[in-house]
A and B are shown apart, each in its own frame.
Chain A
Amino acid sequence: MTHTYEKPTINKIDFAMASKYGSPLKTQKIRQHIDGVNLDTLTEQFGSPLFVFSQQTIEEKYHALNTAFTSRYPDVQFSWSYKTNYLNAICKIYHDLGSIAEVVSEFEYQKARALGVEGKDIIFNGPYKPKEDLKIAVQEGAKIHVDNLFELGDLEEIADELGIRIPVAIRINMDTGVYPQWSRFGFNFENGEAFDAIERMYDKGKVYLVGIHSHIGTFMLDANAYRVATMKIMQLKTQVESAFNAQIDYIDLGGGFASKSNLKGVYQSAEVIVPTVDDYAEAITGAIYEFNTSDTLPKLYLETGRHLIDEAGYLLTSVQGWKRFPDGKKGYVLDAGVNLLYTSTWYNFNIELDKRYEGENEPSMLNGPLCMNIDIIEENLMLPALDRGSILSISPVGAYNYTQAMQFIRYKPAVVLIDTKGKPRLIKEVDDLATINYKEV
């Protein structure tokens, strides 16, 4: 008779681990499906590691954010932040939902244009915009958000070259009471730098101001910071309209709304500390109404990226082996590492198992496949004895991870989108040697 085998375990009992929240030796987080599609099916069909995006989650998050703002304010326009995730299929979903494009480089600009977005529906942000690309954007009617005086000078030259006056927006930075203060982008509000730059625009008369933009930070856990930012933007708007007889058509509050990810070093969970979309919407729209001095309300642009896409993204990775470290910890070797998880530096991911495993948890470390000592996805995690081939799903990883994934040591993996009918579709093939060697001469 064959007996049932379980990997042999012995764990020293640490009585300090028991708490009113239960035993960490038993808890297992399990995910067998994404939008009804079995994880085994996904990795068998498309390989491992594998990025998986849920269109259903993307749409739910978008509609929730859209409702929070449009129910409070009459003129709101969302703009998809390309840098957050510029896979074509993902950008296209946001454009189909009604978002225009927000880009921060010429390559992102070209990507948006190639996807059929008209120049007038592109916000061109960022601290460096090459002059030749700026000129194309101006000619195509893009919304240029000026970051610095050098760029303003370039725009004035372009205005001369084209024989036109160019409508622009200005990016400003400010103290909103949060630390760290993002002061690297745009012109400072409090010290008068922003007003000086605008004055310079009107002195020269080659560009004119139609918008004011700020982006106060990322993963902002204080909705009130947006109220402060909106208040200062509205104050500057009033100041400019009065000083230069100008008409500021729009304000842009950027992005930075948090997702339900867990910041490292933060004790409470994301469910507790992340503001709701209504908190953000109330802070911004409330301040517009309160501080508007014009007969008309400005159009409100938002460039929310992380909040919309982060929770829609998963990375599936398989256990390739494991070993026992001299300190007793179990170290798993996975086929995905920090090459694919850029944000692992700042966030503790939700790591789920593909099934319930027998036996008790023990302190474990998750290492990637890189021959680099720093390739650690999770340094200390209580896990049961996993098998070779066990699939782990890591989330939320929809924001910034694919776009910042490195082609380093291993090929970049395939990407699958599960559509709203629960059908998985390959949207990016796994890289191969030809991808790596492309353009080498």
Chain B
Amino acid sequence: MQQINELLLDENKMAFHPMMGNSYQLNDVGIEILKYLKEGKKKPEIIEILAERYSISKDALFIDVSDFMSKLKIYGLMV
């Protein structure tokens, strides 16, 4: 089970995982990606959405989204 589904988000861009007892600080784009991941979207789809919304190259977004997902894995929130 993806642990990101257990994350509780608040209005201060903080996330809390009740079972692990860990808190996380995110920024706006981080929250947005987390939301898409929770919806079951895959990396290529997320990149498409972000590229259109922010007018950023897909190559640049590939680096940033991959890095964000790497951190989720490092934190044990994704496999």
Q: Beyond A13-B22, A13-B25, list 4 extra A-B contacts (CB 8 Å).
A: A10-B24, A10-B30, A10-B68, A359-B27
Cβ A10 vs Cβ B64 within 8 A: no
Question: Given A5-B29, A9-B27, is A328 in contact with B54 using a C-beta cutoff of 8 Å?
Answer: no
A47–chain B nearest beta-carbon distance, Å: 24
Residue A327 CB within 8 A of the other chain: yes
What total of chain A residues lie within 8 Å of the partner, measured CB to CB? 21
Residue B26 CB within 8 A of the other chain: yes
The 8 Å CB contact of B33, one of A8, A326, A358, A359, is: A8
Q: Specify the main secondary structure of chain A where it touches its partner.
A: loop
Interfacial chain A residues near B30, Cβ < 8 Å: 8-10
Question: Given A2-B54, A5-B54, A5-B56, is A10 in contact with B15 using a C-beta cutoff of 8 Å?
Answer: yes
- Report the Cα distance A4→B34, complex, angstroms: 18
Most central of B23, B27, B33 by chain A CB within 10 Å: B27
- Report the Cα distance A3→B56, complex, angstroms: 10
Interface residues of B in 36-64 (CB under 8 A from A): 50, 53-56, 64
Interfacial chain A residues near B32, Cβ < 8 Å: 8
Which are the 4 A-B pairs with shortest beta-carbon distances?
A5-B54, A8-B30, A8-B29, A8-B68
B49–chain A nearest beta-carbon distance, Å: 12
Interfacial chain A residues near B15, Cβ < 8 Å: 10
Residue A421 CB within 8 A of the other chain: no
A16–chain B nearest beta-carbon distance, Å: 13
Cβ A12 vs Cβ B24 within 8 A: yes
The 8 Å CB contact of A13, one of B23, B53, B70, is: B23
Interfacial chain A residues near B29, Cβ < 8 Å: 5-9
Interfacial chain B residues near A330, Cβ < 8 Å: 67
Cβ A12 vs Cβ B56 within 8 A: no
29 cross-chain CB contacts under 8 A: A2-B55, A3-B54, A4-B54, A5-B50, A6-B28, A7-B67, A8-B26, A8-B27, A8-B32, A8-B33, A8-B65, A8-B67, A9-B25, A10-B15, A10-B25, A10-B30, A10-B34, A10-B68, A10-B75, A11-B24, A12-B23, A12-B24, A12-B75, A13-B22, A13-B24, A324-B67, A328-B74, A330-B67, A358-B27
Interfacial chain A residues near B33, Cβ < 8 Å: 8
Interfacial chain B residues near A11, Cβ < 8 Å: 24-25
A328–chain B nearest beta-carbon distance, Å: 4
Most central of A4, A9, A10, A359 by chain B CB within 10 Å: A10
Residue A35 CB within 8 A of the other chain: no
Per-residue CB contact flags for chain A residues 345-361 toward chain B (1 = under 8 Å, else 0) read 00000000000001110
Interface residues of A in 5-42 (CB under 8 A from B): 5-13, 25
Interface residues of A in 224-265 (CB under 8 A from B): none
The 8 Å CB contact of B26, one of A10, A25, A327, is: A10
Interfacial chain B residues near A9, Cβ < 8 Å: 25-27, 29-30, 68
- Report the Cα distance A13→B64, complex, angstroms: 21
The 8 Å CB contact of B70, one of A5, A6, A12, A324, is: A324
Cβ A326 vs Cβ B25 within 8 A: no
* Nearest chain A residue, comparing its CB with the CB of B72: A10
Cβ B23 vs Cβ A6 within 8 A: no
- Report the Cα distance A9→B65, complex, angstroms: 9
